[in-house]
Amino acid sequence: MRPKTICVIGLGYIGLPTASLLATKGYSVLGVDVAPSVVETINAGDIHIVEPELDILVRSAVGSGNLRASLTPEPADVFVIAVPTPFKGDHEPELAYVDSATDALCPHLSPGDLVILESTSPVGTTERVAARIAQKRPELTEADRVFVAHCPERVLPGHILRELIENDRIVGGVDGPSTDAAVRFYETFVSGEVIATNARTAEMCKLTENSYRDTNIAFANELSMLCHELGMNVWELIRLANRHPRVDILNPGAGVGGHCLAVDPWFIVHSAPDTARLIRTAREVNDGKAHWVVDRVVEKASRFRDPVVVCLGLAYKPDIDDLRESPALEIAKALTAKVDGTVLAVEPNITAYEGLEITDLHDALERADIVVALVSHREFKRVDRALLQAKVLIDACGVFR
Ligand code: SAJ
């Protein structure tokens, strides 16, 4: 029988779009979040995050009566866990949010319910969820059992609503019946292919996708530093190398940010520290790139008396307002502390950030001695190159290439 009621725990970048989408597909959805302000905002038909078209979807889902938000779970046919999985100090995965979401849904489980972990998780986390449920609700076994599966989210911020529907999904249960139940559920709203595997492979698949991209970006970032050392233009080099039919090098940048690529590879490293050497090194190269940019700017700034340094961009990638793990933000902060002069930041997608002087693009360019391009926002692509002529330009992201 098709499930009717869904409880989505965690109303962030993944949980809220998922809950709203399911509501518009006819499910009765309860979204749960620990933050009262988030619950209030959503119940008012508004959103607390920036994502194209999400406001329209949430308004329509809440307006239809199919989406409600609450601080606590209620009984449902399907529970979706979409809480953060950051890491602790020493890159050790922090699973406290997954554990507390599991504990919160346990009292509401009934035989036949399906629990899906969507949060990006280290290998073994879905089994951990199943074991926690078995411990708290030991009577839910055999004919009265519940089903537990992992289906990692794979959507690209900025394109979440389209990708939630169109992307292929990897579904892995802790056993065959759990996999089957989860596949049937995703097939009701995903137009991409829903592919069955086991829970551990599904977990590793998501970590592999992001580590693959991180490693490829590390290659590009290493090339950018090599080219600087050897006196070459890295953008020209990559453009030429990419003319080979089997070469496709990504773009160097100010480093790698966001809550995914900068985090997930560490889950693999933590699981197998002696074996995951390339993945660890890629993380170190990408983190090191931000420090390298800072050193270059500080070195240039030391040649001026009272220089004005302008950082173009603070977000973790172009055309969004998301500052999580942003190398551009870290660079701007480090320069503010290190440069003996004035550091200005231009970020068209946010209005203020404590400790940084955010200013208008044209005003900043007029005052600048040194321009540091950190994020390829569309506003920067349109800058008249004549305005940059008398400046020292450090273009970490290639926006003026
Ligand atoms: N970046 C570069 N050079 C490039 C591409 C990206 O320096 O050529 C940088 C960006 O500037 C940014 C970082 O990498 O700082 C990550 O950006 P991204 O656009 O590559 O990815 P995310 O973090 O926004 O989303 C990724 C996606 N994963 C993959 O493409 C394999 C997305 O599909 C995942 O769902 C998401 O992580 C996630 O939630 O895990």
Ligand 1 pocket test, pick from 16, 18, 51, 261 with the greatest ligand atom count within 8 Å of Cβ, gives 261
User: pTM for this one?
Assistant: 0.94
Alpha helices in 231-276 (DSSP H): 234-241, 264-271
Ligand 1 mean position, distance from CA 71 (Å): 31
Ligand 1 mean position, distance from CA 277 (Å): 21
d(CA 268, CA 254): 24
**For residue 229, what is the enclosing H or E element?**
helix 199-230
Q: Relative to the CA of 221, which ligand 1 atom is closest?
A: 7
Domain limits, CATH 3.40.50.720, in the chain = 5-198, 213-395
Ligand 1 mean position, distance from CA 230 (Å): 28
Q: In what order do the strands lie in the sheet with 370-373?
A: 357-358, 342-346, 308-312, 370-373, 392-395
Q: How many CA atoms lie within 13 A of 128 on its CB side?
A: 17
The CATH code of domain 213-395 reads 3.40.50.720
**What's residue 198's pLDDT?**
98
Residues with CB under 6 A from ligand 1: 120, 153-157, 209-210, 213, 217, 250-251, 253, 256-258, 260-261, 316-317
Which residues carry out catalysis? 206, 260
**What's residue 49's pLDDT?**
85
Residue from 348, 345, 372 nearest 357 by CA: 345
Q: Which CATH superfamily is domain 5-198 in?
A: NAD(P)-binding Rossmann-like Domain (3.40.50.720)
Tokens of 91: 């890159």
Helices (H) and strands (E) in the chain, counts: 14, 13
Ligand 1 pocket test, pick from 151, 213, 259 with the greatest ligand atom count within 8 Å of Cβ, gives 213
d(CA 28, CA 130): 25
Q: Relative to the CA of 155, which ligand 1 atom is closest?
A: 35
Give, using CA atoms, the residue closest to atom 7 of ligand 1: 253
Give, using CA atoms, the residue closest to atom 34 of ligand 1: 154
**What's residue 252's pLDDT?**
98
Give, using CA atoms, the residue closest to atom 10 of ligand 1: 317
User: Is the Cβ–Cβ distance between 187 and 169 less than 8 Å?
Assistant: no
pLDDT tens digit string along 355-397? 999 999 999 999 999 999 999 999 999 999 999 999 999 999 9
Q: Relative to the CA of 209, which ligand 1 atom is closest?
A: 31
Mean pLDDT by 10 residues, the chain (401 residues): 90 96 96 98 92 92 97 98 93 97 98 98 98 98 97 92 96 98 97 98 98 98 98 98 98 96 97 98 98 98 97 95 94 98 96 96 97 98 94 97 89
Ligand 1 mean position, distance from CA 261 (Å): 6
Ligand 1 mean position, distance from CA 50 (Å): 17
d(CA 180, CA 145): 14
